[in-house]
Amino acid sequence: MEIHGIPIDDNFAEAFDMLATRIVITAAEPAWALRAGEAMTGFATSVIGCGVEAGIERELNPSETPDGRPGVSVLVFSINQETLQKQLEKRVGQCVLTCPSTSVFAGLESNRPIPLGSRVRYFGDGKQISKKIGSERYWRIPVMDGEFVCQDSVYATKAVGGGNFLVLADSIHAALHACDAAVQAIRQVPGCIAPFPGGVARSGSKVGSKYKSLRASTNDAFCPTLQDFGFSEIPDRASACLELVIDGLTPDAIAQAMRVGILAACEVGRELGVRKITGGNYGGKLGRHHFYLHKLLSGD
């Protein structure tokens, strides 16, 4: 299979089960909601070292938020609910409560509540108050610009992490521009994020390492400087490889994001010098979700 003259490998991307939550951050002005979302999703590229993978899903109009103010929806992924809860509490407490004019609400519903407002309320030093609206409780915590409103609990749901594809190109500039186009397309797909900086990872990894203390190490088969060692997956003339990793609330969201991302990369990639698109997998040993590139691109 080729798209715009760029070969697409007949293989699959391998992804695994995760838990996720969506929270809605609102603020007096759109810029402050965005700043709070950016702050709380910092250092959240990989569960290997960060505990969670997180990103801003999209910006929200006032008509889409619980309190009628501009906002952002944020997705946070982890491997278990305990870690998800701890990271969410820390990140909201340190990065959203501290941000002027913000409030926090649950962005999805499920039968897996995660305490949030009930934990950060203690910052109010006994002067916090709660109000129940319907079946949901909200906390009002006094702060210097008024009140920080935070929903008592948010909710976790089953999710998928690690959908991916790799862009191999003649130069780093070609790979960067093709990946930029892919990320812009991926960001239009609801229910998913690309958690690495700018949505792109230079440090694709393989499972395990020669060093016992490391769970993952550099994906040497796709490192251009190792082409002469006899195990390279880098095609002739290619000198750069970048990976786009996608987490989603559903397998369908990841499949759609991979599809539009690959198409966007290929649309601009031929003129730039993109040589190949492939998928990252570990022979099916890491996760049960397999996204076959030819199948998702052909719509089968």
Region 182-210 average pLDDT: 96
Instruction: Tell me the helices (H) and strands (E) count for the chain, helix number first.
Output: 7, 17
Cβ-Cβ contacts under 8 Å for 234 (sequence gap 6 or more): 168, 221, 222, 223, 224, 227, 241
pLDDT reported for residue 237: 81
CA separation for the pair 128, 133 (Å, rounded): 17
* The two domains 2-15+160-298 and 18-157 share their CATH topology (first three levels equal): yes
Domain extent listing, the chain:
2-15+160-298, 18-157
CATH number corresponding to 2-15+160-298: 3.30.70.520
Task: For the domain covering 18-157, report its CATH number.
Answer: 3.30.70.520
Instruction: Give the three-class secondary structure for 52.
Output: coil
For 200-251, write each residue's pLDDT tens digit. 999 999 888 999 999 889 999 999 999 888 788 898 888 999 999 999 999 9
Has residue 300 got a pLDDT over 70?
A: no
Strand, coil or helix: what is 188?
coil
Rg of the chain, C-alpha, whole Å: 21
